[in-house]
Chain A
């Protein structure tokens, strides 16, 4: 089947509906249907994951959510008007997609669109409908934008061509892929713009190290700051997580590249950033416990449930207190002053106090990455099945730093090879991270054991035993993951991408 043309144009600002119809009436009889007005509300998470994946979640009334893809509405589901997380939706494609695309994020009202749609048909001299059309008035922005869509009908394409010719003088621009997404794009909403990474930074290979590090640090600080409102409002747990990730990255950046920055800057900012991170540790631990609730529940036999419920009653209470504490801190003058002073420090002009400060950032970074890799290579040679957890933990931290270092400066590195290397790093990080998480969870849960609360302590003991078993099982995976990563090929790859030296790997 041949696809029939459907063309949409944006109309010039001065054009009225009457102008369109008067133009077309010279050759067609026009049948105009009553205009339909609607208000659509669009939801997405803070990172606009649905938008990035080309989906729109919209509701025209309070109870019904529609998931819209490029091909049209793919599912409609009823949900409470205040539903925020995927698990609050009933089983449906909407729920499955939200789970996959936004994970732990909350859906937020991000945009609304008021539409006035007027359908019309053009009839030929036989009174046959030969073209179908729609005038769409979108009132999302400051002033309405008008569009005209003409749809050709099978066997009557020549009339469509003719109608398009008649409208030509009234047209501002032809619109590709007209639809709700296009109408939202026309509003140029900040919410749909990428909030990820340092894409706004323009790093160049020849850039000197100190100004490059200062710019990245400022971007990191900005990224962390973007999440503060969500932490205070307790919108979802990802706000705190991402806030902490960005603060951690910033601390890693100045620590890894300390030789490019003035000593006074390091000495001033390190304790400040450490303080900020420390203030949120407990809340994050409690969030992790709450997110694990369902998984813990499934681990334990039913008769342990009352003890688990008591534990979670306590955790929820603590979380509420801790959340208020963190919110107070992030809203405080102290915090704002700390952030402002950090930003001011990073914004100062480069002073090139160290020799490394004026070197090309690409050279500095490549050298650091290679050095770190070889340090890790040496570290892993000392790891065996007898090695204490501390050694695994130290290696995990090194991997984290290595990945940060690569990702900060990814734009300066060969893309294809880096994607592959980062992919391998992510794989081993997942295994090391899972292993570490079991240890951390056991530690936190241990802290709740209370002989006065027998039920709860029994459940805790059960959980700790299961997590300990899981940790033991994971240990062998850790060792094989290390062996799989540090191969001769990987060493050669690091040497090739980040330097010229050739050394032997484990393999």
Chain B
């Protein structure tokens, strides 16, 4: 089982759209996939029309795998299940702070899914916190959407430094350009410079697209309502590239 986290400490970069579409394509390609929505806003759960539990259960989240299992819900798509977020997930950091060996907690609970799923995708909240560090340890690939702008570049640099300083394996970090507007020279220049500096960027870029924004209206991955659009091809290509990462 692989764990892929869609992560950035910056908000609004396309983490949720990436999680949802990647999970969709992974499942469609035959991988038994579980999407875990760790962001208390619950956007990816919403995109899959999965309602969160009515009960607060964040406290039990890191206790045991069995607690997570009861919250799994089938999506509308074959091979794809979802654990929806709950508003109480906003307390994850304070909860983790109270645990011993907190960094390994997430990794330990996810291990239980090994027999049932080929892939777990984590849709992460924008922060750098105890939860983030758990995610860094639990995931095999940290997929980082980067908008080719100065601020995003700075955030990405901060992440690389954080990994270096805290001795996390930097090779887990797999960035790609997101919400790209090729008509903007700033985007083009930033992409050129960052690609030259960091040789780890994926080839696939996700365009800025109103079709991605429309996911909220359709409550579905892009392929369901915009099959022939560029954004859809981009996500499919992104999955193909990510699935080949060793």
Contacts and interface: CB of A to CB of B under 8 A. Distances in A.
Interface of A: 1, 121, 126-129, 153-156
B219 A127 contact: yes
Given A155-B73, A155-B74, A128 B81 contact: no
Contacts of A129: 74, 76
Interface string B110-121: 000000100000
5 contacts: A127-B219, A129-B76, A153-B73, A153-B74, A156-B74
A419 B69 CA distance: 49
B74 to A, nearest CB: 4
Interface string B99-141: 0000000000000000010000000000000000000000000
A1 B116 contact: yes
A128 B72 contact: no
Interface of B: 49-51, 69, 71-74, 76, 81, 116, 219
B72 to A, nearest CB: 6
A126 B73 contact: no
A127 B49 contact: yes
A128 B49 CA distance: 6
B49 A126 contact: yes
Given A154-B74, A154-B81, 12 more contacts: A121-B76, A127-B49, A128-B49, A129-B74, A129-B76, A154-B73, A155-B50, A155-B71, A155-B72, A155-B73, A155-B74, A156-B73
Binding site secondary structure of chain A: loop
Nearest to A155: B73
Nearest to A154: B74
A128 B71 CA distance: 16
Contacts of B50: 128, 155
Contacts of A155: 50, 71-74
Contacts of A126: 49, 51
Nearest to B51: A126
A151 to B, nearest CB: 10
Contacts of B116: 1
A153 B81 CA distance: 10
B76 to A, nearest CB: 4
A155 B70 CA distance: 8
User: 5 smallest A-B Cβ distances: which pairs?
Assistant: A155-B73, A153-B74, A128-B49, A154-B74, A129-B76
Contact of A154 (B49, B51, B72, B219): B72
A154 B69 CA distance: 10
| Most interface-central of A128, A153, A156 (chain B CB within 10 A) | A128
Contact of B69 (A1, A121, A127): A1
Contacts of A153: 73-74
A233 B116 CA distance: 52
Identify which of B69, B74, B219 gathers the most chain A CB atoms within 10 Å of its CB: B74
Contacts of A121: 76
A30 to B, nearest CB: 14
A43 B76 CA distance: 36
Contacts of B71: 155
Contacts of B72: 154-155
B64 to A, nearest CB: 15
Contacts of B69: 1
Nearest to A130: B74
B83 to A, nearest CB: 10
Contacts of B51: 126, 128
A1 B117 CA distance: 11
Contacts of A128: 49-51, 76
A123 to B, nearest CB: 9
B41 to A, nearest CB: 17
Nearest to B50: A128
A121 B74 CA distance: 13
A23 B106 CA distance: 45
Contacts of A127: 49, 219
A134 to B, nearest CB: 14
Contacts of B76: 121, 128-129
Contacts of A156: 73-74
A153 B77 CA distance: 10
Nearest to B81: A154
A494 B49 CA distance: 73
A367 B76 CA distance: 71
A129 B78 CA distance: 11
A1 B113 CA distance: 9
Contacts of A154: 72-74, 81
A156 B51 CA distance: 11
A330 B66 CA distance: 70
A149 to B, nearest CB: 15
B47 to A, nearest CB: 11
Contacts of A1: 69, 116
A23 to B, nearest CB: 22
A73 to B, nearest CB: 15
A260 to B, nearest CB: 64
Which of A1, A154, A155, A156 gathers the greatest number of chain B CB atoms within 10 Å?
Answer: A155
Contacts of B49: 126-128
A454 B46 CA distance: 86
A125 B219 CA distance: 14
Question: Which of B51, B69, B71, B76 gathers most chain A CB within 10 Å?
Answer: B76
